[in-house]
Amino acid sequence: MADYGHELQFGVFASPEVARVHDTLELAQLADVLGLDLFTVQDHPYNATHLDASTLLTAVAARTSTIRVAHNVANLPLRPPVGLAKEIATLDIVSGGRAELGLGTGAFWDAIVAAGGERRSPKEAVDALVEAIGVIRGTWGQDPDRRGERSVTRRGEHYTVSGLHAGPMPLHDVEIWLGAYKPRMLRVTGRLADGWLPSMGYADPAALAELNRVIDDAAVEAGRGPQAIRRMYNVFGRFGSGGGFLQGTADDWAEQLAGLTLEQGMSTYVLGSDDPDTVRRFADEVAPAVRELVQVERSRRASGSPVDAGETDGHPVGVDPDAALRSPVVRAGSPEGAPLAVRPTPDDGRRLSPSLPWREEDRPVTTKPDDAAYTPAQQAVPQHLVDVHDHLRSELAQVRDVVDQVRRGLLSVGQARSVINTMTMRQNSWTLGAYCESYCRIVTGHHTLEDRSIFPHLRRRQPSLTHVIDRLEQEHHVIADVLEQVDEALVAMVGSDGYGTAGREALDELQRTVDLLTDTLLSHLAYEERELVHPLAQHGFG
């Protein structure tokens, strides 16, 4: 079992087909607004039906605001390392620090030779890649052994530079991800790379454990540690009712990917698809559910709860989240536990909207035990709920801040008087759209997990909570309606291009819906914490 603890990321592996150029650029914008982390394209310079990957990624960066862009992976034999380093540094600069580099040794050697490249044996190809990594990082001024050097000299059998002036420097430490499958390339990944980027079909899920082991051993031998290498995965699938890996429902996908994270350490999933609906479902339904499942299980593991050997109650990673939480409540003063230290977040009563879509005074409540005490593992469960809610509160404050920044920017610009102003407001609209869409998706994913798993579990374990849980579920439906209003306001705002009279009216409506979301969500989170901290400490998550 090897979860390296990396933050989860999700992206798209799109086609660079010439015939699809406009669709590909629109797909990139969609991925950006949906809040995905990565947009990648393959790089086969000898393919007459493919656009140049570097130029295409530059166009994608110009049309997006937050998503990172990368080759998946760059064809080294046809991209000399100094030129490639300059391409990526330039892309990073013009995108505001959003470029990374996927790199491969090359394949399809007949095609490479036909395009003027050098045919290399497997050993030569790996040797050349190792040399290229040193040249590229030296050109960026990011070689860990010679950071900041102004003059780059590297002498190798395949690539030699002598007295090259380093630069331009990327805005951030660009990561290098290697597409690797064979033992020697895996060892190079463990020694030198920031990420490992294999693909299904070449490395299927059953093979990941052994391939990861080779990387881990090499990382340890190099003094880095396995956590230094992010584990990424190009995945392919379809939504349906069939069996098999990534062949079922969005819930099936989420459980399978969460299992790969918790059991094999994979933490970045890049979906190979050009279909907007598939990408939308991946971002809206799968990614939030994977994040929630992994966060819950990591919290459970951090609390020290034991792991059951077999699958339990359909749990995606083969563990029972309540295994350590089934003991009855102990009494205050008992050596086994202590009074509940988790404090529900108080509701300050401030409201931004003239009215709410529910009556707060009608909410049912339950009796709270006065003398209950809980073990540290039990107390970790409601604390996790509060931590998740605090994250939602923090992100909501950020959404409100971005709305305010765009509003102030629009007021200062007024009617767009130039192409530059027009482009700026459009870009602001896309940025705001990305923030809001991502936040709405996270809230929906959190509530879905509660409705499908946690609430049914608490109903079974404590029937006296029925009326409270009924009310919490009703409020989830109300908040879902508010999220729909936010989404409609976002569509109207982006359609207005974010400037002029239409832009101001769209922003006014977005502000109204975000205010209503703020009032309903903060009120709901405070109520849920007041009512559930004790039951969760006693019964755990379902």
> What total of structural domains would you count in the chain?
2
Between 427 and 28, the higher pLDDT residue: 28
Question: Does 399 share its domain with 485?
Answer: yes
Question: Does 80 share its domain with 203?
Answer: yes
- Least Cα distance to 303 among 284, 320, 324, 283 occurs for 324
Give start and end residues of each alpha helix (H) in 227-283.
250-264, 276-281
Residue 320 falls inside a structural domain: no
Pick from 351-365, 405-419, 500-514: least confident? 405-419
Ranked by mean pLDDT, which of 124-128, 146-150, 376-380, 419-423 comes out on top?
124-128
Residue 310 falls inside a structural domain: no
How high is the pLDDT of residue 428?
57
Q: Which helix (H) or strand (E) holds 348?
A: none
- Least Cα distance to 285 among 317, 237, 253, 261 occurs for 253
Question: Does 127 share its domain with 224?
Answer: yes
- Of 284, 302, 320, the one marking the end of a domain is 302
Query: Which residue range forms the structural domain that includes residue 360?
Result: 330-539
pLDDT beyond 60 at 354: yes
* pLDDT tens digits, one per residue of 116-128: 999 999 999 999 9
Q: Which amino acid is at 59?
A: A
Question: Does 202 share its domain with 62?
Answer: yes
Beta-ladder partners of 102: 177
Q: Work out the pLDDT band at 431, boundaries 50, 70, 90.
A: low
How high is the pLDDT of residue 423?
42
Residues whose CB is less than 8 angstroms from the CB of residue 332 and which lie 6 or more positions away in sequence, other chains included: 338, 339, 371, 372, 373
Pick from 121-125, 477-481, 504-508: least confident? 504-508
Mean pLDDT, rounded, for 53-61: 96
Between 231 and 311, the higher pLDDT residue: 231
Q: Give the span between the Cα atoms of 528 and 344, in whole angstroms.
A: 9
Q: Work out the pLDDT band at 239, boundaries 50, 70, 90.
A: very high
- Least Cα distance to 303 among 278, 284, 280, 322 occurs for 322
Q: Which amino acid is at 97?
A: G
Residue 314 falls inside a structural domain: no
Structural tokens at position 126: 């790996």
Question: Does 296 share its domain with 224?
Answer: yes
Question: Does 246 share its domain with 371?
Answer: no
212: CATH: 3.20.20.30
How high is the pLDDT of residue 439?
79
How high is the pLDDT of residue 420?
38
How many CB atoms within 10 Å of residue 181?
A: 13
Residue 481, SS3 per DSSP: helix
Residue 319 falls inside a structural domain: no
Residue 315 falls inside a structural domain: no
The DSSP bridge pattern shows strands 176-178 and 101-104 to be: parallel
- Of 302, 317, 345, the one marking the end of a domain is 302
How high is the pLDDT of residue 34?
82
* pLDDT tens digits, one per residue of 76-114: 999 999 999 999 999 999 999 999 999 999 989 999 999
Question: Does 380 share its domain with 517?
Answer: yes
Residue 456 falls inside a structural domain: yes
Omega of the bond leading into 168 within 30 degrees of 0 (cis): yes
DSSP letter for each residue of 361-373 = GG----PPPSSEE
Question: Does 66 share its domain with 136?
Answer: yes
Residue 417 falls inside a structural domain: yes
Question: Does 373 share its domain with 296?
Answer: no
Structural tokens at position 86: 């300059």
pLDDT beyond 90 at 498: no
Residue 347, SS3 per DSSP: coil
Q: Give the span between the Cα atoms of 437 and 306, in whole angstroms.
A: 37
- Cβ atoms of residues 75 and 109 within 8 Å: no
Structural tokens at position 538: 């006693």
Question: Does 338 share its domain with 297?
Answer: no
Structural tokens at position 184: 């020697």
Average confidence score pLDDT of the chain: 87
Q: Give the span between the Cα atoms of 21 and 16, in whole angstroms.
A: 7
Q: Give the span between the Cα atoms of 295 and 299, in whole angstroms.
A: 6
- Cβ atoms of residues 99 and 86 within 8 Å: no
Question: Does 334 share its domain with 470?
Answer: yes
pLDDT beyond 90 at 364: yes
Secondary structure letter of residue 194 according to DSSP: S
337: CATH: 1.20.120
Residue 454 falls inside a structural domain: yes
Question: Does 289 share its domain with 345?
Answer: no
